[in-house]
Amino acid sequence: MASSKPHATVVGAGSIGISCAVHLQSEGYDVTVIDRVPPGQGCSFGNAGGVVPCSVLPEFHAGVLTKLPGWLLDPLGPLHIRWRHLPKALPWMLKAAHCVKPSVKRHIIEGKAALSLRVLSDYDDIMGKTGTADMLNRVDGIRLFDSEEQYRAEDGSRKILREFGFDQKRISPGELRELEPDIATDFALGTWYDVWYSLKNPATFVAAMAEAMVRNGGAVLQDDVVSAEHDGTRALRLVLREKGEMVVDKLVIAAGAYSDLLAKQLGTRTMLEAERGYHLTIPDPGVKINRNLTWAARHGAMVPLDVGLRLAGTDEFAGVDAPPNWERANVLWKVFKRVLPNLRPLDDSAQRWMGRRPGTPDSLPVIGPSPMLENVWYAFGHGHLGMTWGPTTGRLIAEMMAGKPSNIDLNRYRIDRFYN
């Protein structure tokens, strides 16, 4: 017997797509999720697993732009653009540079904070629905500084975090040694953050949410979405590589760095780049850290996970399908050995990975309805914060599709904002 419930098709089985699916079930939808890889095996697989609501600053701000020329000349630097990709990436880069203007920066901060202030309650909610509460490490975090000057350069950032209620404090070299005995002894000071949670393993968390969604009557279809078709008013069908045509009722595009291709087929342009990140996961690193660590001199993070120590970071702009440069993963060991002097040499047990973060120029995600098609919604572009904002995005999408009002300004996240 056919179901009387409305049906939603979600393209994308990462943190965002699965969160949308779980919340849509709560709003009375039957749900099918489609992805070319199993749940949690795309960009959600190898990230640092951070649940970091205090990350409210734009990714590209004045402090980053001053370092940019040197980084761009270094193929192993924290941020690199492959020159072959530069013509395609240039409009995105110019729009990102525009975001350093004070008025634009403030708009971005408020947009990120509006999502981030909901993160912890939304995590509690979705973990309760999916039985995954034991998969989150509720820990603090430390940012390390080489000098007082380096620390003072971030005074403005800390002031903004205090404005939004994110607790932090300065910690001395002695306190650093006490909290993290295995780090180098010559760091001048640190900033401690009270909420810098991380998932014990982001891939297994997303997979567990998907399993709960399937137990609740949902479906996961492993296939590649080749194209999407519409009649100018509604999305009609998807064309899948293996299964062929699939008629859709309601459609959510949460396909990460590939979302802009489907959006274009559905009549809407946006700006999206694959901010390719690399990681090393070392099962037996020979050192121990007790919380998430970052280093002000270098873009990246050191995270203790169930599977070992993960060293993650860097942004590479090369397009979604360019082959990986595995030296960008290997260099993470060299970089973070400065922080962890007793880190063991790399061997065959270390896992190297590259993922395609879907990044917008203004660091704000795309969350909301199609401006053209009445049965299409978009949820992508979360950049470095896909794990942080996944449950919140899923709730917002489900509420919109159920016709419920929101108490935040969703216009900030419109898909067509870069061309209006």
Of the candidates 283, 405, 400, 412, the one whose C-alpha atom is nearest the C-alpha of residue 349 is 283
**What CATH number is attached to the domain comprising 215?**
3.50.50.60
| Last residue of one domain, picked from the residues 343, 359, 375 | 359
Q: Per-residue confidence at 171, pLDDT binned at 50, 70, 90?
A: very high
Enclosing domain of residue 398: 7-45+204-269+363-413
Flag whether pLDDT at 1 surpasses 50: no
Tell whether 401 is covered by a domain.
yes
Tell whether 388 is covered by a domain.
yes
Number of domains into which the chain is organized: 2
Tell whether 119 is covered by a domain.
no
Place of tokens 């920066």: 105
Mean pLDDT calculated for residue range 243-248: 98
Partners of residue 263 on adjacent β-strands? none
pLDDT digits (tens, 9 = 90+) for 193-232: 998 999 999 999 999 999 999 999 999 999 999 999 999 9
How far apart (Å, rounded) are the C-alpha atoms in residues 89 and 82? 10
Asked if 283 and 141 sit in the same domain, the reply is yes
Asked if 187 and 330 sit in the same domain, the reply is yes
Asked if 85 and 170 sit in the same domain, the reply is yes
Asked if 261 and 152 sit in the same domain, the reply is no
pLDDT at 316: 92
Tell whether 389 is covered by a domain.
yes
State residue 282 phi and psi, 5-degree precision: -115, 110
Q: What is the mean pLDDT of the chain?
A: 94
Tell whether 120 is covered by a domain.
no
Asked if 290 and 353 sit in the same domain, the reply is yes
Lowest mean pLDDT among 67-76, 91-100, 131-140, 235-244: 67-76
Of the candidates 116, 119, 141, 135, the one whose C-alpha atom is nearest the C-alpha of residue 194 is 141
Coil, strand or helix at 115: helix
pLDDT at 279: 94
Asked if 290 and 235 sit in the same domain, the reply is no
Asked if 260 and 180 sit in the same domain, the reply is no
Give the pairing of strands 189-193 and 141-145.
antiparallel
pLDDT digits (tens, 9 = 90+) for 285-303: 999 999 999 999 888 899 9
pLDDT digits (tens, 9 = 90+) for 266-289: 999 999 999 999 999 999 999 999
Place of tokens 């607790």: 167
How far apart (Å, rounded) are the C-alpha atoms in residues 101 and 61? 9
Widest pairwise Cα distance in the chain: 69
Tell whether 305 is covered by a domain.
yes
Asked if 210 and 321 sit in the same domain, the reply is no
CA atoms within 13 A on the CB side of 150: 14
Q: The pTM is what?
A: 0.96
Flag whether pLDDT at 79 surpasses 90: no
Contact 208, 134 (CB under 8 A): no
pLDDT digits (tens, 9 = 90+) for 34-52: 999 999 999 999 999 999 9
pLDDT at 74: 74
Percent of the chain with pLDDT over 70: 97
Flag whether pLDDT at 420 surpasses 90: no
Question: What letter would DSSP give residue 117?
Answer: T
Asked if 218 and 154 sit in the same domain, the reply is no
Token couple for 339:
């922080």
Question: What letter would DSSP give residue 190?
Answer: E
Asked if 94 and 188 sit in the same domain, the reply is yes
**What CATH number is attached to the domain comprising 146?**
3.30.9.10
Question: What letter would DSSP give residue 75?
Answer: T
Flag whether pLDDT at 63 surpasses 70: no
How far apart (Å, rounded) are the C-alpha atoms in residues 364 and 226? 27
Mean pLDDT calculated for residue range 364-388: 98
Asked if 173 and 318 sit in the same domain, the reply is yes
Mean pLDDT calculated for residue range 336-346: 96
CA atoms within 13 A on the CB side of 281: 18
Percent of the chain with pLDDT over 90: 88
Q: Per-residue confidence at 336, pLDDT binned at 50, 70, 90?
A: very high
pLDDT at 77: 75
pLDDT at 2: 62
